[in-house]
Amino acid sequence: MQSTTTNKDTRSERVIQAAVIKALEKEGWYVIKLIQTNKNGIPDLLCVQHEKTMFIEVKKYDGVLSKLQQYRINEIKMKGISCFVVRSEKQLYMMGILSQL
């Protein structure tokens, strides 16, 4: 994730989300974009690979989680499921989720 003022990623969440999905799928993740569920505030993406499952909420560099989104992320983590807020596909490499840059 870029943190300096001059290097901020100014892409929209939609564009970042598409890049995140593409990067995950390139490394074999099965990615489902969650549009409407029975739980408001659920993260954007459900990702599955072999026996691993994770949720990803995509935000642009200055995007802020709502209180409900933060509640859902905490709820998911309490169930023992990985859940991340991602602001660029590059962050997936920095976090070790993806291995091929």
- 59 CB neighbour count, 10 Å cutoff: 17
Tens digit of each residue's pLDDT (9 = 90 or more) over 35-69:
999 999 999 999 999 999 999 999 999 999 999 99
R_g (Cα) of the chain, nearest Å: 13
Check residue 101 and give its pLDDT. Answer: 58
- Percent of the chain at pLDDT exceeding 70: 91
Q: Of 6 and 76, which is predicted with more confidence?
A: 76
For the chain, domain boundaries: 7-94
User: Fold for domain 7-94?
Assistant: Trna Endonuclease; Chain: A, domain 1 (3.40.1350)
Check residue 20 and give its pLDDT. Answer: 97
DSSP state of 46: E
Res 2 pLDDT > 70: no
Q: Which residues of 10-43 are buried (b: 16+ CB within 10 A; e: fewer)?
A: eeebeebbebbbebbeeeebebeeeeeeeeebbb
